[in-house]
A and B are shown apart, each in its own frame.
Chain A
Amino acid sequence: MSGLFNAFVDMFDTATIASIVAGASALLFATMGETISEKAGVINLSVDGSMMLAALAGFVVAFETDTVWLGFPAAAAVGVAVALLIAFANIKLSLNQVAVGFVLFALCTELSRFLGNGYVGRPPVGVPAWGIPGLKSIPFLGPVMFDHNVVVYLAYLTVIATYLFMYRTRRGLELQGIGERPEAAHSRGIAVNKMRYLYTALGGALIGIGGAAFSLDVKLGWADRPTRNLGWIVLAIVIFGGWHPLRAAFGVLLFGALQAYAIKLVPEFPSLSQVLPSIPFPAMILVLVIVNWKALLKWLDRYPFLRAILRSDPPTAIGTRFEIN
């Protein structure tokens, strides 16, 4: 029992929380990217594959040039290329977003295994640690938030920037409009399909950067399919996040925390060692059930800000094409 108690105390341990905060960077980038893309009406279902290929591209470029920072634009380029393919196939060729996305997922995954073969086990390249002078000495908050590296800080800044962009700027409101009711956006003079290309590409870039954040920061180096399943988790968290950047970021942290604690409990319940790591998934479904509770939503209609965060209706036009005749 004392072990269980220790595990509970551990939950609030500075080092544990700091590791959850730092470990979230890759998921945060990719989740913001997917949120932006879906908010504009385009589902990028390839995330799991494009993140993987981007992680490889990031590592290879960083390794070959011996410059870790060059890995990130390379990874972003991969993400943009895949995302633009989906947008193009949907907008110009009238293909189904989900089908194209799924095929690209499989293609990118296999491509990353094939192209990355020679890089398995090569010495890793990592983003150097950099604590923010002054802020990092704040008790508790310092080590938890401000003693990581530039990539981690940027991940959180991306969340804030995505939120501010979507809800505080004209362009951001238009972004929401084209995914919600494209014909209404069109009637207001917004170039719907042009904007969809733009935001799908932006989302793809963030997904790519998420991949690089994984191979250059979270779990260094290249192995066989290092980011596998991460992309599917991204897709789930976007839904969990109700297409809201802040709630999605909360989902990423909740997921990371549940995962960390579940693993901590394994020594306590060795017989459940197979089950515990999967606890985060049903736990998140439970939270979804609660926030979708009708009575709660009705009550929240009176509090628009809270309601905006807790509402989880997908953008109405998600996955559909928009065509003017």
Chain B
Amino acid sequence: MSLELRDIHKHFGPVRANDGISITVESGTLHGLLGENGAGKSTLMKVLSGFHSADSGEIVLDGKQVKLASPDDAIAAGIGMLHQDPLVFLPFSVIDNFVLGSPGAQRLDRRGAAAELSKLCERYGFTFDPHTPARLLTVGERQQLEIIRLLWLGARVLILDEPTTGISADQRAKLFVTLKALADEGMSVIFVSHKLEEVEALCQRVTVMTRGKVVGEVELPVPPEQLVEMMFGQMVEIQDRTEVALGRSHLALDSMRMASGLLSEDPISLDVKSGEVIGVAGMEGSGQDTFLRICCGMRTPAEGTVAIAGEDLTGQHYHEFLNADVKYLPAGRLEEGLIEGLTITEHFVLAGEDSNFFIDWGAARTRAEEQVDHYTIKGTEASTAESLSGGNQQRVLLAMLPPELTVLLMEHPTRGLDIESADWVWEQLLGRREGGTSIVFASADLDELLRYSDRILVFFSGRIIGELDAADTNVDEIGLLIGGRTSGGGA
């Protein structure tokens, strides 16, 4: 089914999320929609799937103008949307999720639906137990379920909004194979992403959006620099790091064991100097989170000691670590870092050291405005935490850090951020490093680990399997170690 969007306008209050967008998607193609966070991609796709109604503009399907006032209309017109966070009902079983919202007799025929489900699963190589509650599925599996549900409902245009966030590399590969197969069957697939390499790997055409407008449309492949330039206007320079002289010990672990009773675990001894950057690699859940939580005092090691700037703080309360200027920024920005419903001003007040009983809101707002300005946060001092995009949430978290830090521990500092924001984050972090702060960060992005770390620790099933000097290692070596293969070849 071919699809044409003509001059779509949509604004929320003063924000022009879509400002005259026109896009044409040919039937049987994989069409990329590329743009940084907040470029208006999601809004456009929500308009196309009937979730939002556009202020003005036309949507034309196979040459016929259609009116999509609700998701119902969109589904009836053959447009199916897979939302960034798959809209499944977590407590409901797979089969209930599959049938909910589908047409049919009032009496639910779960067995019949399960047969349909397994037929589709077979065709696309998925496996589902119809009775499993959806909350036990991985994000990737929830996507698969949504995709076959939309196909079952007769979708001829499939929209995927940032579908690779939060799924494993395996599932991503599988998703890409499925999408290519669907395009071969004549389906139009719109792939919304802020990740260049994914759009390049998957799509035949790409439309680039910035600030609510289309800035270009090209046939792929093109040199990546061209796409980056379309997205950001100029080339993003990877600058060389300035050398920082390492100073005294900031974080020292001595024969530390994370958990008792793990025989395979060698005790960890590590000395992180001031100005040093340690990268922590490994598959999700290989022990990195526990490691970081021990380093910041949120957990107590089973054995051994943790010392900050020469002082043994083993077993001390988390507040002692905070007093020693150790700070931890976890991956869950909105879950563990920021407080939903509170404004940026309120966050700064909470994070501040001011000990007065009453809050001077006037001064607090002024200070927050300065920070919003200084850290180029897209929002105002009165914006709530959840209204900010991921990149801007990270900016707020960094802005709230105290000026002097001994050790900064971070989990996925740039996850979900567009290139510009990610570079900005690292600019800040490297600045701190020059000020003498030691940085320990966990990341799944090997390039990030290699580019910014001095040393890299690789975790595998709860222990450190390798400690590498970032200057003389490469992606392949780290990749193999993450998979549990030491250089000897054995596991």
Contact = CB atoms under 8 A, between A and B. Distances in A.
Interface of A: 168-174, 176-177, 180-181, 183-191, 301, 304, 307, 311, 313, 316, 324-325
Contacts of A188: 71, 75, 87, 100-101
Interface stretch (B105-113, B254-262, B440-448): B105-113
Contact of B90 (A171, A316, A325): A316
A171 B87 contact: no
A170 B51 contact: no
Closest 7 CB pairs of A and B: A188-B101, A189-B72, A184-B87, A304-B131, A187-B71, A180-B89, A187-B87
B104 interface: yes
A187 B96 contact: no
A281 B49 CA distance: 49
Contacts of B133: 301, 304, 307
Given A180-B89, A304-B131, A324-B51, A187 B83 contact: yes
A181 to B, nearest CB: 5
A187 B49 contact: yes
Contacts, number: 77
A42 to B, nearest CB: 18
Given A169-B106, A189-B70, A189-B101, A184 B88 contact: yes
Contacts of B72: 189
B108 A169 contact: yes
A325 B96 contact: no
Contacts of B83: 187
Given A174-B100, A180-B91, A316-B90, A187 B81 contact: yes
B106 A184 contact: no
Contacts of A186: 51, 70-71
Interface string B58-102: 000000000000111001000001010001111111001001111
Nearest to A190: B101
Contacts of A190: 101
Contacts of B75: 188-189
Given A180-B89, A184-B89, A301-B133, A325 B12 contact: yes
Interface of B: 12, 49, 51-52, 70-72, 75, 81, 83, 87-93, 96, 99-102, 104-108, 131-133, 136
Given A187-B71, A301-B133, A324-B51, 11 more contacts: A170-B108, A173-B96, A180-B90, A181-B87, A181-B88, A184-B89, A186-B71, A188-B100, A189-B71, A190-B101, A304-B133
A169 B108 CA distance: 5
Nearest to A165: B106
A325 B52 contact: yes
A264 B132 CA distance: 45
B100 A173 contact: yes
A184 B100 CA distance: 10
B99 A173 contact: yes
Contacts of B106: 169-171
A304 B93 contact: yes
A185 B75 CA distance: 13
Contacts of B89: 176-177, 180-181, 184
A62 to B, nearest CB: 34
Contacts of A185: 100-101
11 contacts: A170-B104, A170-B106, A170-B107, A170-B108, A177-B89, A177-B100, A177-B101, A185-B100, A186-B71, A188-B71, A324-B52
A238 to B, nearest CB: 17
Contacts of B108: 168-170, 172-173
Contacts of B49: 187
Contacts of A169: 106-108
A162 to B, nearest CB: 15
A168 B133 CA distance: 17
Contacts of A184: 87-89
A133 to B, nearest CB: 31
Contacts of B52: 324-325
Contact of B105 (A170, A176, A316): A170
Given A168-B107, A170-B106, A301-B136, A311 B91 contact: yes
B103 to A, nearest CB: 9
Contacts of B107: 168-170
Contact of B92 (A168, A176, A183, A325): A176
Contacts of B12: 325
A188 B108 CA distance: 16
A172 B70 CA distance: 21
A190 B93 CA distance: 19
A50 B89 CA distance: 32
Nearest to B81: A187
Contacts of A173: 92, 96, 99-100, 108
A305 to B, nearest CB: 9
B76 to A, nearest CB: 8
Nearest to A173: B100
A176 B92 CA distance: 9
A304 B93 CA distance: 8
A313 B75 CA distance: 31
A173 B52 CA distance: 24
The listed residue with most A CB atoms (<10 A of its CB), out of B92, B101, B108, is: B101
A189 B101 CA distance: 7
A311 B93 CA distance: 13
A316 B134 CA distance: 14
A188 B103 CA distance: 10
A190 B75 CA distance: 12
A170 to B, nearest CB: 5
A301 B137 CA distance: 13
Contacts of A180: 89-92
A247 to B, nearest CB: 15
Contacts of B91: 180, 311, 313, 316
